[in-house]
Amino acid sequence: MNESEEAAGLAPTPGYRYAQRIGNQLFVAGQVPLDVESRVVGAGNPTAQATQCLTNLNILLEHHKFQLEDVRQLVVYVVGGHDNLKLAWSAVTSWFSGEVPPATLLGVSCLGYPEQLVEIDATVLRMT
């Protein structure tokens, strides 16, 4: 299902597509902090996990011929208290060099993988 994304360096997914391109829009599944071997990166470290989520998003964008500038909105999900939210957000603002697209930062009780603290969802649209 995601053979080309896996070949680009993303981990296998359990029964869902990474993305679907329709015209100039890329519908993206939430990016999780997994490395190519399906290991959670940065257990207990929201900064490392946010960075891995964004690394995976960037791989996906490049694979589907989009750019970081095509990201129009983000939703950042973070497990834990306010300190975790601040650390994850700091990683996001660094990644986007302070020019973050419209974004929502949410505290949640849990995410899909054990030890996962961060997931990042993106709306991607290339203006043509």
Give the model confidence (pLDDT) of 68-117 as tens digits: 999 999 999 999 999 999 999 999 999 999 999 999 999 999 999 999 99
pTM: 0.95
- Report how far residue 82's alpha carbon sits from residue 1's, in angstroms, rounded to the nearest whole number: 37
* Percentage of the chain exceeding pLDDT 90: 89
At the topology level, CATH places domain 3-125 in 60s Ribosomal Protein L30; Chain: A; (3.30.1330)
User: Are 86 and 117 a contacting pair, CB within 8 Å?
Assistant: no
pLDDT recorded at residue 61? 97
- Report how far residue 128's alpha carbon sits from residue 121's, in angstroms, rounded to the nearest whole number: 23
User: Are 13 and 38 a contacting pair, CB within 8 Å?
Assistant: no
pLDDT value at 2 more than 90:
no
Q: Which amino acid is at 27?
A: F
Q: What is the DSSP string of 52-80?
A: HHHHHHHHHHHHTT--GGGEEEEEEEEES
pLDDT value at 1 more than 80:
no
- Report how far residue 82's alpha carbon sits from residue 106's, in angstroms, rounded to the nearest whole number: 10
pLDDT recorded at residue 117? 98
